[in-house]
A = this chain, B = another copy of it.
Amino acid sequence: MLLIHLDRQSRTPLFRQIFGQLKSMIEENVLRPGDRLPSSRSLSEALGINRTTVTKAYEDLWAMGYTESRSGSYSMVRNRAEIVDEKKADAGKLIEWHKIANSGCGELASTLKSSGFHSQKDGEIDFIPMSPDPRLLPVEDFRKCVNQVLKKNGSSLLQYGDPLGFPPLREYLSHRMRMHGISVFPDEILITSGIQNGVDLVSRMLMAPGSKIVVENPTYSAILPLFQFHRADIVTVDQTEAGMDLDQLESVLSGEPPVLVYTVPNFQNPTGITTSQSHREKLLRLCEKYRVPLLEDGFEEEMKYFGKTVLPIKSMDQHHIVMYLGTFSKVLFPGLRIAWIAADRACIEVLAAIKKAGDLSGNMMNQAALNLFCRYGFYDLQLKRLHKVYRRRMQTALKAARAFIPRNLASFSKPLGGYCLWFELNHFRGDEPEMMDKMKSHGVLVSPGKSFFAASTDRICFRISIAHRDEKEIEEGIKRIGRALA
């Protein structure tokens, strides 16, 4: 008979006591694989307790995988392989995963390791995060929307869904983009897991090893390891104060044609530059002339605080050569992973097929909740709130930069929206790591400039993002930068 001691004074229910003791006996090999537990009837009689108490304990043992029989009256201890000794296993390793992985994988993995979450120390002012301030996110409104869609349609929203994405959300986006002069129908929109996923899909569609692609120099840093992973030949075109240098671009396009030109026309990450309507038109005409697809990253389209409206390149795209990327990550919740591509129907068809081959379906529950959130007007409300806050934060940042960072030390951009400012040092004595150390020792964290350049450069630059910082912190942080550079 098994030795089981019940403590009837204990706050632990009797069935948990039985479960716990049997579990220990199995783990400590007192009960061994193949051993039978007593029937629930006999054990309950022996212990003088209700039979259902024993049954409950036995069910939990089964559910946790300790025993085998699922239906009958007997429970048998299961055969579980022993935990492998780590050191032994390493010695006998047959496959060197890093070595057999495709070229490019190793670099990616080390990038991942180095770009881990940085930890902010007490009192430090962190200008790195580029997502909206968590303090400003309407979590509660979103929670209500999730609730509502799950209550109403949970069972169908938790099934596989339309490969293009939740139809009512695509309809909403089609309407919304029309307000920016972009005319696309809902089936010319593909919902993606963030813009990153969109760029990956486009890359999988158009790139082969060695394919030439054109990016601004500097450009959005997270895109570079992805293009490198696709083994693209990344060609850079200088980002001037007006945007991509169009003469340089034309000389690139007139050579061996690239498969893609990637551009960020609004508050470019990292330079903060917004291009003019005429620059956009010229860029589009160039791509049309050379029949090169243009990937327009409109990541912060609706976050313009100053100056007059400039319409997206896609709004002028009568020949359907532009793939437009939009996202909710910079205004709402980055963790939702909902963004979209708007492009020619034939292009969307191929991209959707690649997406489906890679993950079968998106998560409809999230997309339906976001759709409701937008339809209720919460998205517009959120935009208004962010505009109010960030217009002031940006003004504060620009004022502080003028006050605390002497012109002769550094020049900086004057963004019309978005979250980031870009500084270029004029005659800093030292290299980038030294600059970063100085910043850190003055209690301020910035993004080092080199990661935004695809080509090597001697320029010493850095980006600050005001996304997570309030006005007081912005002023103090920029003051510290001024001191660090002095």
Contact = CB atoms under 8 A, between A and B. Distances in A.
21 contacts: A63-B377, A78-B309, A81-B181, A81-B311, A81-B316, A82-B183, A93-B319, A95-B320, A102-B205, A102-B208, A108-B350, A134-B156, A142-B158, A159-B335, A197-B359, A200-B357, A226-B358, A334-B361, A335-B365, A337-B360, A337-B362
B159 A139 contact: no
A470 interface: no
Determine chain A's interface SS by DSSP, over half rule.
helix
A376 to B, nearest CB: 13
A349 B411 CA distance: 40
A179 interface: yes
Interface residues of A, number: 121
Contacts of A344: 93, 95, 97
A143 B139 contact: no
Interface stretch (A47-55, A379-387, A421-429): A379-387
A158 B139 contact: yes
A163 B131 CA distance: 17
Interface in A360-379: 360-366, 377
A321 interface: yes
Contacts of A156: 134
A97 B346 contact: yes
A63 B383 CA distance: 8
A453 interface: no
A80 interface: yes
What 5 pairs between A and B have smallest CB-CB spacing? Answer: A65-B179, A158-B333, A139-B154, A81-B181, A108-B353
A15 interface: no
Interface of A: 59-60, 63-66, 68, 70-71, 78-84, 88-89, 92-98, 100-102, 105-106, 108-109, 111-113, 131, 134-135, 137, 139-140, 142-143, 146-147, 150-151, 154-161, 163, 176, 178-183, 193-194, 196-197, 200, 204-208, 222, 225-226, 229, 259, 288, 291, 293, 305, 308-309, 311, 315-316, 318-321, 333-337, 344, 346-347, 349-350, 352-354, 356-366, 377, 380, 383-384, 387, 391
Given A159-B134, A350-B108, A359 B193 contact: yes
Contact of A180 (B59, B65, B335): B65
A63 B106 CA distance: 46
Contacts of A60: 380
B337 A363 contact: yes
B320 A89 contact: yes
A161 B293 CA distance: 32
A444 to B, nearest CB: 22
Given A81-B183, A183-B84, A319-B94, A196 B350 contact: no
Most buried by B among A194, A288, A356: A356
A359 B196 contact: yes
A385 to B, nearest CB: 11
Contacts of A293: 95, 100
A353 to B, nearest CB: 4
Contacts of A178: 65, 80, 83
Most buried by B among A197, A259, A335: A335
B101 A350 contact: yes
Nearest to A154: B139
